Amino acid sequence: MGDKPVKNMDEFAALSGISRPTISKYFNDPNSVRASTRQKIETALAGYDYRPNIYAINQNRRLTKNIGIVVPYLADPFFAEIARMLERRCFEAGFTPSVFSSHGETSNEKAILDTLRSIKPAGVLLAPLGRLSDITYLKDFCADVPTVLFDSNIEGVGAAFIGSDNRSFVSQTIEYMSRTGDAPCLFEMRNPANPNANKRRHAYVEMMKRLGLDPQIVAIDGTGWAFEEIGRQGALKLLRDNLLPTNSVLCSNDRLAIGFLSACHELGIKVGRDAGCTLRLASHDDHPYSRFTCPALTTAAHDYESVSSHAVETLFRLIDAGGKLKRREETLFAARLIMRASA
Amino acid sequence: MGDKPVKNMDEFAALSGISRPTISKYFNDPNSVRASTRQKIETALAGYDYRPNIYAINQNRRLTKNIGIVVPYLADPFFAEIARMLERRCFEAGFTPSVFSSHGETSNEKAILDTLRSIKPAGVLLAPLGRLSDITYLKDFCADVPTVLFDSNIEGVGAAFIGSDNRSFVSQTIEYMSRTGDAPCLFEMRNPANPNANKRRHAYVEMMKRLGLDPQIVAIDGTGWAFEEIGRQGALKLLRDNLLPTNSVLCSNDRLAIGFLSACHELGIKVGRDAGCTLRLASHDDHPYSRFTCPALTTAAHDYESVSSHAVETLFRLIDAGGKLKRREETLFAARLIMRASA
DNA sequence: ACATTTATTTTACGCGCGTAAAGTTTTTTT
DNA sequence: AAAAAAACTTTACGCGCGTAAAATAAATGT
């Protein structure tokens, strides 16, 4: 990098001995100019401190190179992880990703969509809040901006959805638990905000019936995104009052399970498959912390890699196609069972 | 919100019956125009779908309303939390915050600073990587862009630093542990990337000496930001080989402690202050997950509220002052001891 | 009611770059 | 070496808005 600051493209063009339109062409695609020309430009670039004004660029381009990445709750390491992978992939493809978090609130999600409109992004990767989303608002947005949904599906919204196959999660955990011990009851929130939770419940009921077993659902109260605390309080109550129908428990997701384990420890209940343990606990998501819980959580893992790469690829395809796909696509990736000490 | 889309400010000015320069003034500060004029504009705004083009605005303004928020590792819920608070406060003040994560890598941190330069932000709130930061690069950046550091201090970089008082953390945990049992050894990484770790070590040694006790430091190997795994591996080795000098352990931070607890559970070592426990463990940071560990972690909590509000206030003051403060400011907030079951 | 202050309108220019058109040079093709 | 194709230069316009200056209008003070 050079040090002498250059104000604008005209000045840089003069300094490099190349005309401004060619310089402009170079910055849009370095390979679109002759090799000898590119060489001259890059030599000049090394000697002077010039970078094109991004605002002037975006004002004049019909489409920016911005990509919005929206997650419902960034303080959840699961979403932080996937946002990071999406971000990296967009960046590698020459786009400028920006990460936004709805922080679990409808108003924030809407405000983010407004912000996104104003930055005129080439496309958006959106993991919606789910039940708390303003569906009409999302739909209007997706009608104007090329959008791919991930994690939580909302029927008919966005040009595509990429996520995990909840039936695959549940069938693997149930199969494993019922093979190695009692079949589990399902521990979940009564009114889950996330549509995946509903799909998991349905899959649980269906799978249990198929195995000729009696589905038993334990629903706990609580709202918001503090799942650990909700799981903990719910479990404390259940365990104290001895309301658990089985000694095998399947949590709808790992964050609830983390709270559940916390309650077990407080009450002196040993969890695991070892002798001396009175409870087995499994869960879903393979949350980044699930291997550090006590005991480590047996869980079904998302295929992070596939979800993120396919989501990004789909978005690029959507952008190339001018914002419309022939029909709405839905892609689900299977889970992978991770056996640890808790079940 | 109206529905008829309006292309530009000229068109909107005509529709609202107000001249364009006044409309421009209104969007820069709605209170800078007469109440009756504001009324007319807002009526028109309700009837039409117009929003100023942010790229045209920022091209012409000397200073944008953008604020960059940079954290070293967003997948760490601690940073996710503080980023969220900073973000909200900037937004409330009428700025447009953008959150970036260095993901623990020098190259990313530098790339983020480059990106920030190109969006010409009014100011930046930066939590640097620490030892891995390219100091010269940071310094150059801070010379051009009004920047306030938080969390990790780097001497002489940025116009101000706002963080937590590491001595306050350590003195409280040591005082508590040595009052209620044996004085603790310090469990930490051998080459911590974060400068706070070094400050905590110094504070530990000083505090122990002051109490007439023998400081004992247990340093474990490991690099990167996977602190839980590093703590876990380190603890497994120490516990198996019986190398721990005391049965009271003070972890440099909660994430190491989470790994430590995981190792204890695996080896069947009971942690806590109850009868039957053979080890006490305390830590620092009050990580969002520290109350869900088994047992729940006794830790020293950051004053998140004060740090974030003071950081933002300082940045605004810096911006108002034109990017320079009389002298570099350093503000530290005291910790608050959170007693839980682990010690 | 008049002078004074404050707000608005009119006019006009500039920001930095995308991009189109026409002409010129360089490279590739045969 | 001539013809064709590709890349480049020159010229010029437009994007949507900030902002300055001068003229005009409205609100405020006495």
pLDDT on residue A275? 86
Q: Give pLDDT tens digits for B220-241.
A: 999 999 999 999 999 999 999 9
The answer to whether the CB of A343 falls within 8 A of the CB of A248 is: yes
Residue B131 has pLDDT above 90, yes or no: yes
Task: Estimate in Å the CA A61 to C1' C20 gap, whole number.
Answer: 14
Q: Give pLDDT tens digits for A11-38.
A: 999 999 999 999 999 999 999 999 999 9
Residue A61 has pLDDT above 90, yes or no: no
CA nearest neighbour of A150 among A92, A196, A189: A196
Q: How many residues does chain A have?
A: 343
Kindly determine whether residue B232 and residue A83, on different chains, have CB atoms separated by under 8 Å: no
Instruction: Tell me whether residue B91 is exposed, middle or buried, using C-beta atoms within 10 angstroms of its C-beta: 0 to 12, 13 to 18, 19 or more.
Output: middle
pLDDT on residue B62? 77
Q: Does any strand C atom come closer than 7 Å to the Cβ of B21?
A: yes
Residue B104 backbone phi and psi in degrees, to 5? 75, 5
A62 vs B176: which has the higher pLDDT: B176
Positions of chain D reached by protein Cβ under 7 A = 7-12, 14-21, 27
Residue A86 has pLDDT above 70, yes or no: yes
**Pick from A51, A81, A259: which is nearest to B118 by CB?**
A51
H or E element, residue B313: helix B304-320
Torsion angle of C-alpha atoms A105, A108, A112, A113, degrees rounded to 10: 70
Gap between the Cα atoms of B254 and B236, Å rounded: 17
Q: Which pLDDT band, with edges at 50, 70 and 90, does A2 fall under?
A: low
**Pick from B77, B291, B294: which is nearest to A77 by CB?**
B77
Contacts of B276 in chain A (CB under 8 A): none
Strands A217-220, A123-126: pairing is unpaired
Q: Give pLDDT tens digits for A87-138.
A: 999 999 989 999 999 999 999 999 999 999 999 999 999 999 999 999 999 9
Contacts of B261 in chain A (CB under 8 A): 292, 294
Whether chain B has a CB inside 8 Å of the CB on A294: the answer is yes
CA A68 distance to own-chain centroid = 13
* Secondary structure string (H, E, C) spanning B218-284: EEECCCCCCHHHHHHHHHHHHHHCCCCCCCEEEECCHHHHHHHHHHHHHCCCCECCCCCCCEEEEEE
Closest approach of B259 to chain A, Cα-based (Å)? 6
**Pick from B76, B288, B294: which is nearest to A265 by CB?**
B294
Instruction: Tell me whether residue B249 is exposed, middle or buried, using C-beta atoms within 10 angstroms of its C-beta: 0 to 12, 13 to 18, 19 or more.
Output: buried
Task: Estimate in Å the CA B20 to C1' D30 gap, whole number.
Answer: 35
Closest approach of B209 to chain A, Cα-based (Å)? 34
Averaged pLDDT for residues B304-331: 95
Q: Which pLDDT band, with edges at 50, 70 and 90, does A322 fall under?
A: confident
Q: Does any strand C atom come closer than 7 Å to the Cβ of B25?
A: yes
The number of C-beta contacts closer than 8 angstroms across A and B is: 103
The amino acid that residue B125 corresponds to is L
Q: Does any strand D atom come closer than 7 Å to the Cβ of B57?
A: yes
Residue A4 has pLDDT above 90, yes or no: no
Q: Which pLDDT band, with edges at 50, 70 and 90, does B52 fall under?
A: very high
Kindly determine whether residue A117 and residue B262, on different chains, have CB atoms separated by under 8 Å: no
| Contacts (Cβ under 8 Å, ≥6 apart) of A120 | A58, A63, A64, A66, B55
**Domains of chain A, start order:** 9-52 (no CATH), 66-164+304-335 (3.40.50.2300), 166-301 (3.40.50.2300)
Q: Average model confidence (pLDDT) for chain A?
A: 95
Positions of chain C reached by protein Cβ under 7 A = 7-12, 14-21, 27
pTM listed for this prediction: 0.93
Question: Which residues does residue B99 pair with via DSSP β-bridges, in sequence order?
Answer: A99, B69
Cα B211–Cα B214–Cα B215 angle in degrees, nearest 5: 95
The phi-psi region of residue A156 (left if phi > 0; otherwise alpha if psi is between -120 and 50; otherwise beta) is left
The amino acid that residue A326 corresponds to is K
Contacts of A228 in chain B (CB under 8 A): 289, 292
B85 vs A60: which has the higher pLDDT: B85
Q: Give pLDDT tens digits for B261-300.
A: 999 999 999 999 988 999 999 999 999 999 999 999 999 9
Q: Which pLDDT band, with edges at 50, 70 and 90, does A171 fall under?
A: very high
H or E element, residue A216: none
pLDDT on residue B53? 95
